[in-house]
Amino acid sequence: MNNLIFYFLLLGLIWTSCLKRESFPDTPVISLREERYLGDSAYIALDFTDGNGDFGLSDGEFDGENYDCSKYYNVFMKYYELNQGVWELYDLDPCVDENYVPFYYRVPYAEPTGQNKTQKGFVEVQIGNWVVNTGRDTCRFEIYIVDRTLNKSNTIYSRTLVKPE
């Protein structure tokens, strides 16, 4: 009986050691999961992977007396407008002018458990007012994320949007 239990345990150990562990690059990778626009509000969902598991910011990190605007955010949505066939950045960087309402967001850190520290998940962003009144009618977002060690992900773009009137 003890031999039978031993063989089942050994078989279980061999089986679990053969399971393929997911592996991702240390630099985050994002893709667009979903985007919805209703009037001047929007919802954007991103899928992401991070091989070293350091995407997200802890409470108080780069906040208060440790405030560093360039590290305070980790989801960046840069706003572009179409001007005579050319996409132009409309700079709304809160690190340049604190009066700007940014399309920058802060995702909390969720520490991976176990031996495999990779992260795979999704981020949802709710935008209260994405319409910037500049006189132009067409815009889009350039989107990327940055992990705790300042590795910047690939860049993706929202669909081309015609602003509501």
Give the model confidence (pLDDT) of 39-62 as tens digits: 888 999 999 999 888 898 887 777
Answer whether 103's CB lies under 8 Å from 92's CB: yes
Among residues of the chain, what percentage have pLDDT more than 70? 82
Mean pLDDT of 98-115: 79
pLDDT at residue 81 greater than cutoff 70: yes
| Bigger pLDDT: 26 vs 35 | 35
Instruction: Work out how many domains the chain is built from and give that number.
Output: 1
Residue 98 belongs to a domain:
yes
- Give the side-chain half-sphere CA count within 13 A for 158: 26
pLDDT band at 8 (very low <50, low <70, confident <90, very high): very low
Residue 74 belongs to a domain:
yes
- Give the side-chain half-sphere CA count within 13 A for 147: 23
Residue 85 belongs to a domain:
yes
**In the prediction, which pLDDT does 7 show?**
47
Residue 122 belongs to a domain:
yes
Integer Cα distance of 88 and 82 in angstroms = 6
CA proximity to 56, closest of 148, 141, 158: 148
Domain that holds residue 74: 22-162
Residue 30 belongs to a domain:
yes
User: Global pTM?
Assistant: 0.80
Q: Write the CATH number for 117.
A: 2.60.40.10
Mean pLDDT of 133-157: 93
CA proximity to 30, closest of 108, 129, 98, 119: 119
| Bigger pLDDT: 25 vs 44 | 44
Residue 11 belongs to a domain:
no
Integer Cα distance of 163 and 165 in angstroms = 6
